[in-house]
Every structure is written in C-alpha cells, then in structure tokens.
Structure 1
Amino acid sequence: MNRGKSGISPVMATVILVAIAIVIAIAVAFWATGLVGVFTRFEKMEVVAAVYDTTDGDVELLVRNTGSSAATIDNIYVNGQPAGTYTLSGSGNVVNPPTDATICTISSDKTTGTCDPGEYIVVSITEPASGATWVPGVTYEVAVHTASGKTYPASVLIP
C-alpha cells in the first residue's frame, strides 16, 4: 500500500487546527464588533433653550441631537397635547444655533425635521393648542416628539 510515505505529524495537525481556529475567531470578532456598533446607536434630543418671544408672542425651542443616530421630529406637545401651530426652522428671533452649527433637514411644510447627530433645529410654537393663546404667569411643559416615540420635554414660563 503506501508504505514508506509518512502522513502529517500530530504536532503539525494541531498547529494547523489552532491556526484555523484563530483565523475564525478573529473573523467572528470583527463581525461582532460591527454588529455591536449598529445596535448601540441611540437617539437623544436635547432642548438647549426654551424661551418666550415677547415680540412675536411665541415660544421658541433650540433643539440639538446629542445622540449617535438620526432623529425625526414628528410633533410638538404643549402640556401633553399636540401644539396648535408650530414651525421648524434654522433660526429664531430669540434663540439661534451657534454660527458654525449644522441645521437639521426640514420638510417643506416645516412641521417635521430629521436631525443627524450634532445638528440643531429651532421650533417656534405660536399656539399652545388650536385657537388658544399663551397665558401670562403660567408655566407650560413643551415637548419635542420623535418618530421613534420618544418625548423630550422642557418648561417655559410665560412672563
């Protein structure tokens, strides 16, 4: 038969198997690291400033996405109810993002906006509820609501 021909030694077989195991382990580690990066992204909006504009009679919010994932603003709430009238923009009368800031992408009707991490947006709320007006001396809870279902509140005292 095959006398005189020797096969691979047990030591060499072990070295080859260990090398294959290490290569597979490294591949799995790189795959898992990439997977972890996808699943650890999070949305976090921060209301940097919330003030009443005495000139226009509206409440202005300066909002920044401080998370690691994009966030879409889909509604604004005042005292837990949808705001009557509001608009999203890149600047306001009282609050403005830093001059070197990137502004969120705003829809054509100015009621929704998508903010990538680090971007700013200004929310101007004209009516706390449909047909209602701001009442002096009252503190209102205003909140930014996102498409993922999260709400980011702030308080505003109307002078």
Structure 2
Amino acid sequence: MGLRIGHRFDDAAEFFGTKSRPAMGEVLKAIDAIIARESLVANQVAADAKEKYRFSVRALTALGIVTMLVCTMVALIITKSVKKPLTEALAIADAVAAGDISAEVKVLGTDETGRLLEALVRMNEKLTSIVSQVRDSANAVTRASRALAKGNRMPFGANGTTSGLS
C-alpha cells in the first residue's frame, strides 16, 4: 500500500507479482478448502434434517392412525354400552305397549340409561299392581254378583209375584 501511495507503481507491481500473489493464492486455496468443507457439512446437515423430517412425518402419520383406531374402538365401546340398555328399555316399553307387563329387567348401571331402566321397572311394577287390583276388584264384583244372584232366587207365586214380597 505504501508503494502505491509513494507512486512507486513499478515496485508495487513487482511486490504483488513476486511475494503477494503466491501468498494470495495460498489464502484463496485455504478459503476454497474451507468453502468445500463447509459445503460438505451443510449438505450433511441438510440431509440429516431431511431424514429427520421424513421420520417425523412417518411417526406422526403412524400416531394419527393409531389415535384414529383407538378413538374408533372407544366410540364402538361407548356406543355398545349405551345401545344395549336402550334396546332393553325399548323392548320393555314395546312389551308394555302390547299389554305384556310380565317382563323382568336387570338394572346394572347407575348412569342415565340405568336410571331409565329403573324407571321402566318401577312403571312395570306399578302397572302390575294396578292390574292386580283391578283383577281383585273384578273378582270381588263377580263374587258379589253371584251372591246377589243366588240370594234373589225366590220361588214365584201363582200370580207371578214373589212370595215374600208385598
């Protein structure tokens, strides 16, 4: 730099050609080697990142599939656990609607469907009690009617009137 400032261009050119140029070549070779090494490292890091990305995509896909299968199984179990008691409740209601109050039900749960079945059991028991009371009352009326009919059989007189009546 000093040679250039002092307008010694010939000396500066000779210095650049003989001493500086070979050193600059060595520096450029070292820089090229560093760039090549860093390119290899960058390519390796990029390849590793790409592989980790692919693994993550595969792992998340597999996890998503497993989650869907588990959710499907849970949904089926819940559906089955709700459907069975509701089907029983519907069968009882249909039987009662058809006039059959003799159905027996076992209530296993305390959830909403279990409480519904308990209510149907109580309704069925109450209907059975009412029907029993109606039958007892009908039998009592029948017995009373027969007793009245037996008690009113009196022989008729010649004039067509009953003998004990005035």
Higher helix share: 2
TM over 0.5: no
TM-score (norm 1): 0.35
Greater Rg by CA: 2
Higher strand share: 1
TM-score (norm 2): 0.34
Determine which structure has greater relative contact order: mean sequence separation of CA pairs < 8 Å that are 6+ residues apart, divided by chain length.
1
